[in-house]
Structure 1
Amino acid sequence: MFISRSLIAAAVAIACTAGSAMAAVSPQEAAKLGQTLTPYGAEKAGNADGTIPEWTGGITQPPAGYKGSGQHHIDPFPDDKPLFTITRANLEQYQDKLSAGQIALLKSYPETYQIPVYQSRRTGSAPQWVYDNTIKNATTAKLVEGGNGFVDAYGGIPFPIPQSGVEALWNHIVRYRGSYITRRSAEVAVQRNGAYSPVVSEVEALFRYYDPKGSYADLNNILFYYLNFTKSPARLAGDAALVHETLDQVKEARQAWGYAAGQRRVRRAPNLAYDTPIGASEGLRTADDTDMFNGAPDRYDWKLLGKKEMYIPYNNYRLAAQGVKYKDVLQVGHINPQLTRNELHRVWVVEGTLKPGVRHVYAKRTLFLDEDSWQAAVMDQYDSRGELWRVSIAYLKNYYDLPTTWSAMEAFHDLQSRRYHVQNLDSEESSTANFSKPIPAESEFTPSALRRRGTR
């Protein structure tokens, strides 16, 4: 199932859990970055049969006609057509390159769910300063005791040559998504019959870990600040939330506050972490499902199982194009497959198994991390009986205005209830994620500022 190579063999050979601090890699190993490996640690070379191409730098310039950050992205590959489509009927031919969750969706919706596969294009890219920091981090970054954070890494991927499952997981958690972002988008819980009611919000995120002028010493255990202002429906309009996301959440839990527009009051919110259900998802997403995985990794033993070739969503510009109607995206049981694009890529496979005596609704979760970006593309989640329960899918694309590879939207499927939740729908909005606005002062992300900015 997995591609064998010396790096992976070494990673599996050591104890791939987060029991103690791991040392950074040697300068000799780190010297592979930018040579045989990309600056992010992916294999530069394509695969043997040519179905995965060589990485040559990814997208380095926006396509013609793109005006700047905030504009809905133009598809750089408008003439590409599917090479083939995976369906329930031909599943056996391709299932070795799919996750258990993808297979389950094909079996659950045999008449409608499909996986259109396109030419693989390794579009992943990042700014040079992020690459430079990543290469530096390779020889300095170390996990703290228990794997609940790391030290001596900043402004880049902390472990581009991962030695354990929890190191690979941290690469996903702190991957590059700009320094400051604003976005207006909708999230929806889609019922069994296809009914849904969008909740529209405007968000702001200040990623302190990626402040080009900062350093690890400046973090004070804060990775980013997050603000969410609800715009609709009317019953929720004006409510807002503020989060201070900590790095080591065992040492210091994330801090959160809520603003109730009707009362014009700010209150400290309960710590939304681990398997706390998210209200807007109608219970279809846990707190640590958000962003495919976030927060403290301490309730699981994480193993790095190696790499595999896998069909994952990639370059999904058509799905998120301006003017695409939500009713055309959201279908009974799943997103409209005709709007999606999937490609063959190499992924790191990371498996988390719930520790004995610890509580979480998922007994096991398996993440499939795109090697070129460290973004989790697919996650399979298992219940306490060991049965596949949920599957989360991130529809990746390159935000070439930064650039970085991130999800255009995410879908969280419950295979038992046959409902799903979608985040970051914005094709009906006038703009998409904007990374170009001036970075605000950190004082704009305080409870007093939340009270001042909150309005109905």
Structure 2
Amino acid sequence: MNFKSTALILGSAMGLSFSINTIAAVSEADAARLGASLTPMGAEKAGNADGSIPAWTGGLPAGGERYTDPYASEQPVLTITAANAAEHQAKLTPGQAAMFGKYPDSFKMNVYPSHRSASLPQAQYENVRHNAVNAELTDNGNGLSQNTQEGIPFPIPQNGLEVIWNHMTRYRGGALERTFVQVPVHENGNFVPVKINERMSWPDYLKEGRNGKDDNILFYFTQQIQAPARLTGNVLLVHEAQNQIAKPRQAWLYNAGQRRVRRAPQIAYDAPGTASDGQRTSDNLDMFNGAPDRYDWNLVGKEEIYIPYNSFKLADRDLSYKQILQPGHMNPDYSRYELHRVWKVEATLKEGARHIYAKRVFYIDEDTWQVAVVDHYDGRGQLWRVGEAHQLQYQDAQVPWLTAEVLYDLQSGRYLVGSLTNEEGDGFDFNARFKHRDFTPQAIRRMGKR
């Protein structure tokens, strides 16, 4: 049986059939596959036919040094350039293939042996097992049922919306504080890093625990700009909703120049992203976030493609931003690609809905549910932007996430990189814990005045 062809056919059928208000959880018999033929997260435990994708055997163990590269001695098994890209097109997204056409003399992909390094705490696996037979989509896919526990709700997805909800709800340590840079890079390679501090917490990780204020809250989030001076002091606060139809995302902005907090309902969808110089939308952050209601989501199926993975080299503390960032794209010598299975989901703008992206095609890693690559199309149907998440297993915290997210603009030649922490010490603090009062308009006013 040709797995890829069969998966595409089944996936398309599932995607086309999704039109009801509430989607039921899977059966106990299906859920019993978790930890057996499937990993606890719902990926296929077995490797692929030729062994180029290995079986999952538990991932990297907990503990150890965060940025120590367990694969440092490995060499690329393949380097894809403009000269041989056509030979490997079946394992590239259209956006990745377009990068070779845009930058034929400088862009390349070093492909290394594949390692299924994803590992999460046992409590997360137990939550996933609970969700498999209990979690449901509500309000035509725009919300989750109240019995959904922390972590991915749909390890055995039946449609494209369930896959994208898995990405949005995946485990990121429960609570964290991180300091990183977001860098708009001009066509000639010039850049000025924007230093950002973010705090994030799911309700269960707040010091007081969950209370009545947390009904319909997925997570709390603040974003404070710390440099350059012209932007310093601006702070964003978000209360992210679990059901954005019942109660949309709530957002506030503290403007340091005006010294006031104001509601910011525009921080959503295709509104310009914070300090991005117009290079990303609000819902581009973390590859995709927010309400999914403006798109029709079609689950195409699974594919095997090259995606950024185990990006320890890119996270090296000895690298500077000047070494990483160059005209057109990041320095490819520091990127690592591996062959992995991904879920392919096509999001097409609904009739009458507005967004600068008329179509988005998502490729989501089966082991982590992290969106790995996104191809963005404009209103003319032309490829516009290519997004990549350079994944990293944070070994000390057992958190699979990323060390950089990049959005390449094929039309302007500019690009935007976020989440870089090479010059920011540890970057991520997964032991941070906060109180409800840390995520209030009063709190961001205090933050902005410091």
2:310 pairs with 1:315: yes
Q: Indicate the residue corresponding to 1:166 in structure 2.
A: 161
Q: d(CA) in 1 for partners of 2:213 and 2:442? A: 22
Q: Indicate the residue corresponding to 1:334 in structure 2.
A: 329
Q: d(CA) in 2 for partners of 1:276 and 1:432? A: 27
2:422 pairs with 1:427: yes
- Equivalent of residue 357 in structure 2, options 350, 353, 362: 362
Q: Normalized against structure 2, the TM-score is what?
A: 0.95
Residue 431 of structure 1 deviates from its aligned partner by 2.0
What is the CA deviation profile of residues 68-117 of structure 1, one whole-angstrom value per residue up to 9, with x for unaligned ones?
xxxx6111211111111011101122110010110001110000000100
Q: Indicate the residue corresponding to 1:407 in structure 2.
A: 402
2:291 pairs with 1:296: yes
Number of paired residues? 447
Decide whether the 8 Å contact of 1:105 with 1:113 is kept in 2. Answer: yes
Q: d(CA) in 2 for partners of 1:19 and 1:193? A: 49
Residue 323 of structure 1 deviates from its aligned partner by 2.4
Residue 454 of structure 1 deviates from its aligned partner by 2.7
Q: Indicate the residue corresponding to 1:147 in structure 2.
A: 141
2:445 pairs with 1:451: yes
What is the CA deviation profile of residues 417-442 of structure 1, one whole-angstrom value per residue up to 9, with x for unaligned ones?
110001111101122211013x2211
Q: Indicate the residue corresponding to 2:12 in structure 1.
A: 12
Residue 16 of structure 1 deviates from its aligned partner by 4.8
Identical pairs, percent: 48
Q: d(CA) in 2 for partners of 1:91 and 1:106? A: 7
Q: d(CA) in 2 for partners of 1:212 and 1:30? A: 33
2:40 counterpart SS class? coil
Q: Indicate the residue corresponding to 1:69 in structure 2.
A: none
Q: Indicate the residue corresponding to 1:205 in structure 2.
A: 200
Residue 250 of structure 1 deviates from its aligned partner by 2.6
What is the CA deviation profile of residues 325-356 of structure 1, one whole-angstrom value per residue up to 9, with x for unaligned ones?
10110111101100010000000001111111
Identify which range, 275-284 or 412-421, moves more after superposition.
275-284
Q: d(CA) in 2 for partners of 1:296 and 1:213? A: 28
Q: Indicate the residue corresponding to 1:35 in structure 2.
A: 36
Q: d(CA) in 2 for partners of 1:7 and 1:377? A: 19
Q: d(CA) in 1 for partners of 2:201 and 2:416? A: 25
- Counterpart amino acid of 1:222? I
Q: d(CA) in 1 for partners of 2:376 and 2:204? A: 29
- Equivalent of residue 76 in structure 2, options 76, 79, 82: 82
Q: Indicate the residue corresponding to 2:87 in structure 1.
A: 93
- Equivalent of residue 392 in structure 2, options 391, 397, 402: 397
- Counterpart amino acid of 1:12? S
Residue 219 of structure 1 deviates from its aligned partner by 4.2
Residue 450 of structure 1 deviates from its aligned partner by 1.8
Q: d(CA) in 2 for partners of 1:412 and 1:325? A: 20
Q: d(CA) in 1 for partners of 2:358 and 2:216? A: 28
Unaligned runs of 5+ in 1: 67-71
- Counterpart amino acid of 2:46? A
- Equivalent of residue 385 in structure 1, options 380, 393, 399: 380
Q: d(CA) in 2 for partners of 1:294 and 1:239? A: 21
Q: d(CA) in 1 for partners of 2:40 and 2:93? A: 27
Decide whether the 8 Å contact of 2:274 with 2:282 is kept in 1. Answer: no
- Equivalent of residue 436 in structure 1, options 425, 431, 444: 431
Decide whether the 8 Å contact of 1:239 with 1:454 is kept in 2. Answer: yes
What is the CA deviation profile of residues 286-329 of structure 1, one whole-angstrom value per residue up to 9, with x for unaligned ones?
11111101111111110110001010000001111112110110
Decide whether the 8 Å contact of 1:16 with 1:163 is kept in 2. Answer: no
Decide whether the 8 Å contact of 1:178 with 1:210 is kept in 2. Answer: no
Q: d(CA) in 2 for partners of 1:97 and 1:390? A: 19
Q: d(CA) in 2 for partners of 1:74 and 1:251? A: 44
Q: d(CA) in 2 for partners of 1:211 and 1:342? A: 36
Residue 231 of structure 1 deviates from its aligned partner by 1.2
Decide whether the 8 Å contact of 1:315 with 1:397 is kept in 2. Answer: yes
Residue 267 of structure 1 deviates from its aligned partner by 1.9
Distance change (3 Å), C-alpha of 1:50 and 1:274: same
Decide whether the 8 Å contact of 1:178 with 1:207 is kept in 2. Answer: no
Unaligned runs of 5+ in 2: none
Residue 61 of structure 1 deviates from its aligned partner by 3.0
Q: Indicate the residue corresponding to 1:345 in structure 2.
A: 340
- Counterpart amino acid of 1:333? G
Q: Indicate the residue corresponding to 1:58 in structure 2.
A: 59
Decide whether the 8 Å contact of 1:18 with 1:164 is kept in 2. Answer: no
Distance change (3 Å), C-alpha of 1:326 and 1:45: same
Decide whether the 8 Å contact of 2:233 with 2:447 is kept in 1. Answer: no
Q: d(CA) in 1 for partners of 2:440 and 2:135? A: 30
What is the CA deviation profile of residues 175-206 of structure 1, one whole-angstrom value per residue up to 9, with x for unaligned ones?
11011111111111101101111111111111
Q: d(CA) in 1 for partners of 2:180 and 2:408? A: 19
Q: d(CA) in 2 for partners of 1:111 and 1:325? A: 23
Q: d(CA) in 2 for partners of 1:18 and 1:197? A: 46
Q: Indicate the residue corresponding to 1:236 in structure 2.
A: 231
Q: Indicate the residue corresponding to 1:3 in structure 2.
A: 3
Q: d(CA) in 2 for partners of 1:201 and 1:11? A: 39
Q: d(CA) in 2 for partners of 1:213 and 1:446? A: 15
2:180 counterpart SS class? strand
Q: d(CA) in 2 for partners of 1:262 and 1:273? A: 23
Q: d(CA) in 1 for partners of 2:298 and 2:252? A: 34
Q: Normalized against structure 1, the TM-score is what?
A: 0.94
Residue 210 of structure 1 deviates from its aligned partner by 6.6
Q: d(CA) in 2 for partners of 1:19 and 1:155? A: 24
Distance change (3 Å), C-alpha of 1:246 and 1:345: same
Residue 207 of structure 1 deviates from its aligned partner by 2.0
Q: Indicate the residue corresponding to 2:184 in structure 1.
A: 189
Residue 214 of structure 1 deviates from its aligned partner by 6.7
2:156 pairs with 1:138: no
Residue 137 of structure 1 deviates from its aligned partner by 0.4
1:335 counterpart SS class? coil
- Counterpart amino acid of 1:201? I
Distance change (3 Å), C-alpha of 1:76 and 1:120: same
- Counterpart amino acid of 1:398? Q
